[in-house]
A and B are shown apart, each in its own frame.
Chain A
Amino acid sequence: MNCIIIDDEATARTIIEQLCSNIPDINVLEAFPNAIQAIKYLNQYEVDLIFLDIHMPDFTGFDFIQTLKNPPKIILTTSDAKFAIEAFEYDCIVDYLVKPIALPRFEKAIQKAASLKAVPDLTPVSETVESTNNNDLYVNIDRRLVKINMPDIYVIEAKGDYINIKTETTNHVVHSTLKKIEDKLPKTTFLKVHRSYIINTTKIVDIEDNSVLIKQDIIPVSRANRSELMKRLNLL
């Protein structure tokens, strides 16, 4: 199931992403700090499941649901049990998780979502990755070849059968593998630092023992890749 997370609290988004990482059938495509950004995303992409915080400033989870014409399955996440009755007035809401969420309860919610009527097959968000000249990378998104300026990419993250290419201005979810895109990227600037991450080494803000900070993303660095990363740096 392809899912997105909507929660104004970074801590909560990170926790749900971690809980999802324990479940092989769940693929987190994106996490949003507010409903508006999620609506823009959903205008472009289909998802199977949304983890939705009810209690957000300006635009609550319930407001958000009412904007959706064909809402996917939704699992509500909240610190208040008191919204439960209202929640189940919506057919799309399959479960209601009270924070802090423990893994066994989370797994149960996922099983519940998975056991409900299957969502129709998704049109692949994107299927191919091709590069032409030194700086351009083309990805096939909804049968359009979209150009990405490679120096703008700061990290690429593997997410199940997809990769998420993060650039200075936007993210592109592509049905591809890290291996495939790694072959298209200039080896002088891009480095695979973890089985799930390729980074643009020119975008590094700082490095700790087993992680690098790129923009606001903390990327894990595996022990095997750390020495290669250190070789690439202009160390004083």
Chain B
Amino acid sequence: MEQPNLSYIDELSGGDEAFKKKLIAIIKKEFPEEKEQYFKNFGAQNFKATAENVHKLKHKISILGLEKSYKIAENFEAGLKENSTVGHEAFHETLQTISDYLTTL
């Protein structure tokens, strides 16, 4: 499975370590909150709200360079809008991969 990376954040920071640190801190705070909200709505089978959560999480997925996972999330989000949960296992795997990665930063 593809692994997250900081290429985009490095490019964006242009060597500004304070900014890089700040952004990573924000992602580390925001991602678990969004993930928790996602699982809450997914568990309650509130698929419209779940699609909103996936939409927001997609940005973090792309920031961390997970291109294939982004496509999976995109399809999953579209499916949720039609009350389909197809692809949720792969999406959950992506969330776990990101959670694991963030603990290393």
Q: Which residue numbers of A lie inside 8 Å of B, CB to CB?
A: 8-12, 14-15, 18-19, 22, 55, 57, 79-80, 99-100, 102-103, 208, 210-211, 218, 220
Contacts and interface: CB of A to CB of B under 8 A. Distances in A.
Contacts of A210: 17-18, 21
A12 B27 CA distance: 10
Contact of A14 (B22, B52, B62): B22
A8 B26 CA distance: 13
A11 B30 contact: yes
A99 B22 CA distance: 19
Contacts of B90: none
B62 A99 contact: yes
Contacts of B23: 11, 14-15, 18
A15 B12 CA distance: 8
Instruction: Pick the 7 closest A-B CB pairs, nearest first.
Output: A220-B18, A100-B62, A218-B22, A79-B58, A10-B26, A99-B59, A100-B63
21 contacts: A11-B26, A11-B27, A11-B59, A14-B22, A14-B23, A15-B12, A15-B23, A18-B13, A18-B16, A18-B19, A22-B14, A55-B55, A79-B58, A99-B59, A99-B62, A100-B8, A100-B63, A103-B11, A211-B18, A211-B21, A218-B22
Nearest to A8: B56
Contacts of B86: none
Contacts of B55: 55, 79-80
Interface string B1-17: 00000001001111011
B78 to A, nearest CB: 10
Contact of A102 (B11, B13, B56): B11
A169 to B, nearest CB: 23
A79 B71 CA distance: 12
Contacts of A79: 55, 58-59, 62
A173 B60 CA distance: 31
A22 B15 CA distance: 12
B58 A11 contact: no
A137 B23 CA distance: 33
A57 B48 CA distance: 11
